[in-house]
Amino acid sequence: MSGWRLPTDCAGAALAVGAFGVAESAAAVEAAPQDAGNLAALGAAVLEAELFILKLCR
């Protein structure tokens, strides 16, 4: 997708839907993209948000 910048756009999109943990983790990745811990935290936050959404759909 042309123009898509991760994680800046990821953080903005996460804020738009209320996924504040994802937005916070994406901002940390933006600040230190070389930090594997930040990337792992972003993955965990995305998974947590996904599971929350799936629970709402039950």
46: containing domain: 8-56
Number of domains in the chain: 1
Share of the chain above pLDDT 70, in %: 86
11 or 45, which is more confident: 45
pLDDT digit string (tens) for 13-36?
777 777 888 889 988 998 898 999
What secondary structure does DSSP assign to the chain, as a single string? Answer: -TT--TTHHHHHHHHHTT-HHHHHHHHHHHH-TT-HHHHHHHHHHHHHHHHHHHHHT-
pTM over 0.85: no
Tell whether 3 is covered by a domain: no
Q: What does the chain come to in residues?
A: 58
User: Which pLDDT belongs to residue 6?
Assistant: 56
Tell whether 35 is covered by a domain: yes
Residue 1 clears pLDDT 50, i.e. is over it: no
